[in-house]
Amino acid sequence: MIDFGLDIQEAIEMPRFLSGRFALGEARDTLHIESRFPEATIEALARRGHTINRWDAWNEMAGHAHGITIDRRNGMLSGGSDPRSDGAAIGY
């Protein structure tokens, strides 16, 4: 949100990656990456020696995020809900 000027929903929907083992037999430094990253980025990481596990576009193993922001100038609440899991942004 801060670095790229995204709202809460846009930030939650950005592609994710995780580094580490999820299953027995996997390398400890496996890079799990959602397929929505640009192909050139994934290829560059592989060329640099990363062990890549390509996830589907929206993988729930990437975690679940939900959030609310408050605009202190006008009190407006904005919510975001992760499409990788159940949930909803609800306010009153």
The pTM for the full model equals 0.83
Give residue-wise pLDDT tens across range 52-74. Answer: 999 999 999 999 999 999 999 99
pLDDT at 21: 83
pLDDT at 80: 95
- The structure tokens listed for 27 are 């390398």
Give residue-wise pLDDT tens across range 18-39. Answer: 998 877 887 788 999 999 999 9
Cα-to-chain-centroid distance, residue 86:
15
Q: Residue 32: helix, strand or coil by DSSP?
A: strand
Give residue-wise pLDDT tens across range 41-51. Answer: 999 999 999 99
Domain boundaries, the chain: 17-62
| Residue 63 φ/ψ, nearest 5 degrees | 100, 170
